[in-house]
Homo-oligomer: A and B are copies of this chain.
Amino acid sequence: MEKISKQTLQRLPMYLTFLKQRLTNSLDTVSATVIAQALGLNHVQVRKDLAAVSTGGKPKTGYITHDLISQIENFLGYNDCEKAVIVGAGRLGKALISYEGFRNYGLDIIAAFDKEVDIINKEISGKPIFSMELLKKTCIDHGVKIGIITVPVNNAQAVCDLLTNSGIKAVWNFAPVHLQVPEGVLVQNENMAASLAVLSKHLKQKNKQNKSRHT
């Protein structure tokens, strides 16, 4: 149950969403095949993913929906929250700090940090914005292990260094830049520019197809 791929980890929250919808509709059992069909995945893959987190379904009935939800949530640690800080209280940073939903995913954002004097010592949705000088002390005092980077590209590496020097072990990076980190620190990139590249290329290919169809 130890070695689990990043791909499996990324699918687990999707299973959870589906299973919770199912429970709302009073469907108390579920099979890997049903999940696979609903989510457009391969059923062998789903079976393998679930085997990594659950003691397994029964031959005819499949999994008990409620139990499977608990097992996935436990596995992902949704029940014990990890503390996080955000650096960069611009629009995106503010949106993330205000988003209550992260608590359901085991993430507790305790404070934001920024260098803009205008917003320092103010609050967003009840969470404080501190000056950068307080970053290290706050992380150490509160045992914060997750740092979220929502600063512009040019400052991202410096902020990342500051975070890893403050004991951060996992960086959630929203700046479209490759970050260098010490061994043992994980960087999870949320690269919206990359997503946009995929979207816009798809449209360009469709336009080309349409044009050639009409000539």
Q: Which residues of A contact B (CB under 8 A)?
A: 4, 6, 9-14, 16-18, 21, 38-40, 76-77, 82, 91-92, 94-95, 98-99, 102, 105-107, 145-146, 153-154, 169-170, 172, 176-178, 180, 184, 186, 188, 190-204, 206
New A-B pairs, 5, CB < 8 Å, besides A39-B178, A170-B203: A13-B193, A76-B201, A102-B196, A170-B200, A188-B199
Contacts A/B (CB < 8 Å), 26 sampled: A6-B198, A9-B194, A9-B197, A10-B191, A10-B198, A13-B194, A13-B197, A14-B176, A14-B193, A14-B194, A16-B193, A17-B153, A17-B176, A17-B177, A77-B203, A91-B98, A91-B99, A95-B95, A105-B192, A105-B200, A145-B206, A146-B199, A169-B203, A172-B196, A188-B198, A190-B192
